[in-house]
Amino acid sequence: MEALFEACGPLLLKRDYPLSRVSFVGTRGRVAFLCMPRNVDAMVNLLAEIEKSGYPYVVFGLSSNILWGDGFFHGVAVSTRLMSEIEVSDGLVVCDAGVRLSRLVKFCAERGLAGAEQLWGIPGTVGAAAVMNAGAFGREFGEFVEAVECWVDGVRVLLRRDELEFGYRDSNLRGKVVLKLWLRFAKGEIDLKKLSELSRIRKQKFPGGRTLGSVFKNPFPFYAGRLIEEAGLKGYSVGRVEVSSRHANFIVSSPGAGAAEYANLISLVKRRVFESRGILLREEIVYAGSFLEG
């Protein structure tokens, strides 16, 4: 299997890797191989070789909204975090999928480009933000996307604006591997005081510590956090994970907690809300790896 990686180009390779090192909430799981391509071409070569081999794989950015299982994943975890090129070309910001959202906002601020500052403070990469159409304070990432280069069914494809579909915490990029993005921002100064204010609001509104952010999508016209609170679950715990007492749509994990406890609490919350209001909550987070221990 290791020979598969040799001709892929520059990448960082780790064997039998503990997923607790990439998880935001901890997990007891491990993965056979962790790969971090250093550029888009290396990623494309890697994906082609993995798919040719038939080996299972998961592509992720910073893993800020992924619940990794507690079992051993006999596959490849591929991180985009070393794919970090960003530049301005023909009036568009062109960036690799692994560029962090915080770096994108700073990059725009330094060049007199405005619009994305509401996304300040969201952990994650631009690739993941495009796939899930991340948003905050009334803005969504999809508003800025002009084109996306991605890996689809073994082919490198460029999707332009009229081929892209963005919805609430969703897009037609799901199931595809985002490689590079072209983003359009308006000319204008970013108020650095506004960034500080947004950071202050986020710290007041959302819990810190080990979380995956908002666990559930809001089932409009309702808010998931309010429904969970009405079901009497604010502060409720299962083992070493609990529904946040600050914001009920967040689950906070204590050191030593595993993915099974997190998943069990998610299931309990969904069941209680359905029993009390007849509304089935759907996860905003995603699951990856193996949930079979042993």
Residue 204: exposure state from Cβ atoms within 10 A (0-12, 13-18, ≥19): exposed
> How far is residue 263's CA from residue 93's CA, in Å, rounded to a whole number?
38
101-108 long-range contacts (CB < 8 A, ≥24 apart) are 101/125, 101/126, 101/129, 101/134, 104/183, 105/190, 105/195, 108/185, 108/190
Catalytic residues: 169, 214, 284
Q: At what angle do helices 101-110 and 192-205 cross, to 10 degrees?
A: 160
Q: Which residues pair with 186 in a beta bridge?
A: 114
**How many helices (H) and strands (E) are present in the chain, helices listed first?**
6, 20
Q: Give the whole-angstrom CA distance, residue 85 versus residue 1.
A: 29
